[in-house]
Amino acid sequence: MKITIEHYDEKVTVETKNDDLTISEVVDHLYGLCIAAGYDKTNVGEAFYDKGEIETANYNTIDTLCTAPSGMCTLYELDIEPYDGLLRDDIPLAPEI
């Protein structure tokens, strides 16, 4: 993978041997590129955090179902079973005797 930032007259590039990076590895490289381009590390970290909060705001709807004082519930506390990859009609029924 190759990621390049051109900032004014400077070009900063990260190149990896493999393209199969995890998203965490990509974010680490993007963070490093921003720092190398001259941005303040605190500002970059806050910007990444803020962007993550904005983009994942819709994924936290489970919290609205929770009545726990901490505001955090697990699926089991809400009586919601996590998807196990099986559809219930995929399970063969025992033959009637």
For the chain, give every domain's residue range: 2-59
pLDDT digits (tens, 9 = 90+) for 22-62: 988 999 999 999 999 999 999 999 999 988 888 777 665 55
Report pLDDT for 43: 94
pLDDT of residue 44: 93
Closest CA to 61 of 48, 51, 70, 71: 71
- Give the global pTM: 0.57
Both tokens of 15, joined, read 């190149």
Tell me the residue length of the chain: 97
Longest CA–CA span in the chain (Å) reads 81
pLDDT at residue number 30:
93
DSSP letters for 19-88 = S---HHHHHHHHHHHHHHTT--HHHHHHHHHHHHHHHTGGGGGGGGG---TTS---TTTTT-PPP-S--G
Q: What percent of the chain has pLDDT over 70?
A: 59
Average pLDDT of the chain to the nearest whole number? 76
Position 82 scores a pLDDT of: 56
